[in-house]
Amino acid sequence: MIVPCPRCGKETEMTGNPYRPFCSERCQLLDLGNWVTGAYRIAGKEDEDEDGGPPPPREGQK
């Protein structure tokens, strides 16, 4: 059974493919990474004001 990879659209054989439905480990990891990053952003969005990104750089003060 040949299905297009949901990540890159490349037609790939699904049977015996450990990375199905993706064409390769790379696409699987990319998709997983995307999902994790997206979830992380959504989860961290509300806290952004309190403890979000890196602290602003302070210059000229010690």
Nearer to Zn ion, 26 or 41 (CB): 26
* Distance in Å, CB of 28 to Zn ion, minimum: 8
Nearer to Zn ion, 3 or 8 (CB): 8
From CA 34, how far away is CA 44, in angstroms rounded?
15
Binders of Zn ion among 3-22, rule CB under 5 A? 5, 7-8, 10
- 35: amino acid identity, one letter: W
For residue 9, give both structure tokens: 């659209």
Do 38 and 46 touch, CB atoms closer than 8 A?
Answer: no
Contact footprint for Zn ion (CB under 5 A): 5, 7-8, 10, 23, 27
